[in-house]
Structure 1
């Protein structure tokens, strides 16, 4: 049995050297990583068959024998001297030592044999982590190239569409800048006449949006009943309740209105609503559970309008689920649920909020803070895409003046006015940049 060491930059190159020098009968004793690559220690039973070279007398550098320190001729070097290790000299002892090593150590394996007389186990080695890393880098690069190609193809398709139907592309871009989502803008523009002036087509699109936008026809003040206003924190639920209660009291009397709050989390939530109730002249109660809410609804069963104020939670707050369950378990009266949303929020934010509260049947929505908006297209898109009727609009803090029943034509005209005022007019920053470029 003779032992040889082989070095390569990776496992594949080192194994190729073993197979070329020692043949398929070689036994892989160990493999490990070194500074320059991979080191393999292989053993063989017979003298390898070397390939013929043009210079027969040229010494084989790879097969250069190692001499003992004394250099004595005829003395067989030990296995420890050959492989530079202080381990056992016999192959059997070496194999036993290998099997006693930790599971992470390299295990010996036989190279695939090409001999017809013996069959050996194929070479088994540890997976090359460097190759795995390179493969992951290649996959990531291919994924990036695919994304770039998809973006370029989409740009080419858009360019072809703009050349084929320039008016429709212009109208889509105009709606998107007004705040309408791209998908809804393409759907609406598909109904626009092909041969018409730009102004006529724009008016047609605005009328189409108004016709598709549904409202609740002032349902709360016209029909009364039990109404709960829900929504995330900061949207103005309590102020909106005060506005609705004050307007209903002006029409039918303060004795026909009652206010209930189930907000037991926010500091001074009940006191704020109680202050509004004292000004209006209507009773205000607090319910901490579904049973208390049912009792209060039974107590106010003769009232024309009962408004329920809820706590404002984020859509990821677990307390929101408990509050929704409280409303659902109170089965004494048919509670109508309205979602209060800030119209100046991003479309994606409003959509996530709607999905959170949609587990309870919604009769409509109320858009607040119209006075703080620079565009209304996001709120319009939400209502159209989810077929959610719009109940009321608020545009200030005054009670009860700053609230009005939603009207589709009014909402679309406000959106067009905001678009004309802010989207079409260049900002001061743009004017400064344009002046600098011209200089």
Structure 2
């Protein structure tokens, strides 16, 4: 007999997977609990439901006595009832639409040709934005020839031309290159707004998919537990679209012995948050929403507004294009984020674009994350250290601009890795310690 196993967070999700793959007449052989959920075993051989029911009846009769109902029987009965009701409701709700217009045969967003075209257009847009930057720097050089070296340095750092022009206006042109660069660093540190991370209350992280919200939540929770203990913290996730994100938070919750609550609706999220407000710190993880999904962001706005006075922090990946970062900030502006978390710094080639966006959008920086390790790779934002890191990353691009006469050894020596930043010791709870890299 050929069988297939399905794993899910709970029995309802498992039954939904089985029904989607094999229809309402699927033959379930076993159901057992596993780490993080349940596992359902389904027979791949075609067996009508009536035959399966008859087989169960014959087995019970052959035993000579009435058989005690098992957990599998209860699961089959409950799953069959729930799925039948849901199936009938779906048929009633979709019947008029099917009669009026045929169902689409393909989801256009998954068409290979369109996906390839989308990637090519994104590449073309990135190339055009780079050419536009170069054109803007050429205009700046023509307007102020005495600042060509400083403009070239700003371009290598990936500073936005509009911001670079304002910075150059505050730097005397008759100073040496070394003095001008030091003044530039001071101006960037001064203009980059930084806030201290909150140590109590609520922290709600929002942002696009893959920005690092869930991992950042785990890092903040781990640092809090090491410093203050585990009794005053709780985690609430509203991300029901990705089961993996829930399981990741549950795994961290088990390790830290911190309660993790899952809310599947706005009403459930509001009720759960009201119960958790007595905690000293409540961390709220939300579903990743694309900056192009206006409806999704509007729903997220309603969710956050319903919780009342929950501080929102935007999770901003440092390794995406500068114009994409700007679009992310603009798309989430309706949520009135109090600050930002700059993530994936270790995967970014340059940081000038991120600095430009934070400065131009007047978005305070609260945390910096430069790796996946929990809790080490998260630290409070430090404008001076972040600008110094951006300057060190710039050296590699300056060497490329100078030409091929620079040897590979020189390039290696003058290009420090992000992981080489000094560790800042942090006092931990009950005598333990951890190192947080900036």
Give the TM-score normalised by the residue count of structure 2. Answer: 0.59
Counterparts in 2 of 1:322 and 1:416: CA distance versus 1, 3 Å: same
Q: Of residues 226, 234, 244 in structure 2, which corresponds to 1:250?
A: 226
The equivalent residue for 2:283 is: 307
**Alignment size in residue pairs:** 273
Q: Considering only CA atoms, is the larger Rg found in Structure 1 or Structure 2?
A: 1
SS of corresponding position for 2:386: helix
Matches within 5 A, 1:350-389: 350-389=325-364
Corresponding residue of 2:143: 161
**Pairs within 5 Å for 1:41-190:** 160-163=142-145, 166=146, 168-190=147-169
Q: Does 1:321 align with 2:303?
A: no
- 1:424: which partner in 2? 398
The answer on 1:406 being equivalent to 2:381 is: yes
- The alpha-carbon deviation at position 207 of structure 1 amounts to 0.6
Instruction: Determine whether 1:261 maps to 2:231.
Output: no
Which of 324, 344, 348 does residue 323 from structure 2 map onto?
348
TM-superposed deviation, 1:246: 0.5
8 Å contact 1:243–1:403 — kept in the other structure?
yes
Separation (CA, whole Å) in 1 of partners of 2:152 and 2:254: 51
Name 1:10's counterpart in structure 2: none
**5+ residue gaps, structure 1:** 1-152, 435-439
Q: Report the CA distance between 1:157 and its aligned residue.
A: 6.2
CA 1:209/1:433 → structure 2, altered by over 3 Å: closer, same or farther?
closer
Q: Does 1:214 find its partner at 2:196?
A: no
The Cα of 1:323 is off from its aligned counterpart by 2.3
Query: 1:316 and 1:208 mapped to 2: Cα distance?
Result: 33
Given that residues 234 and 281 in structure 2 are in contact (C-alpha distance below 8 angstroms), is that contact kept between their aligned partners in structure 1? Answer: yes
By percentage of residues, which structure has more helix?
2
The aligned residue for residue 207 of structure 2 is 231
Q: Distance in 2 between matches of 1:171 and 1:432?
A: 22
Q: Shift of the alpha carbon at 1:319? A: 2.7
User: How many angstroms does 1:162 deviate by?
Assistant: 4.2
Query: Do the aligned residues in 2 keep the contact of 1:184 with 1:381 (CA within 8 Å)?
Result: yes
| Deviations, residues 278-297 of structure 1 (Å, cap 9, x unaligned) | 11111000112222122112
SS at match of 1:285: strand
Q: Deviations for 1:245-280, whole angstroms, at most 9, x for unmatched residues?
A: 010111111111100000111133222111111111
In structure 1, distance between residues paired with 2:252 and 2:207: 20
1:396 is aligned to: 371
Question: Within 2, Cα distance between the matches of 1:319 and 1:405?
Answer: 30
* Structure 2 counterpart SS, 1:308: strand
- 3-state SS of the aligned residue for 1:391? strand
- CA RMSD in angstroms comes to 2.5
**Contact in 2 for aligned 1:291/1:330 (Cα 8 Å):** no
Structure-2 separation of matches of 1:155 and 1:189 = 12
Q: Aligned-pair distance for 1:198?
A: 1.2
| Partner residue in 1 for 2:115 | none
Unaligned runs of 5+ residues in structure 2 are: 1-134, 408-438
Provide the TM-score with structure 1 as the length reference.
Answer: 0.59
Map Cα deviations across residues 350-391 of structure 1 (whole Å, 9 max, x no partner).
Answer: 111111111011110001111111100010001100110001
Residues 290/250 of structure 1: CA separation in 2 closer, same or farther (3 Å cut): same
Change (3 A) 1:399 1:155: closer
2:184 aligned with 1:205: yes
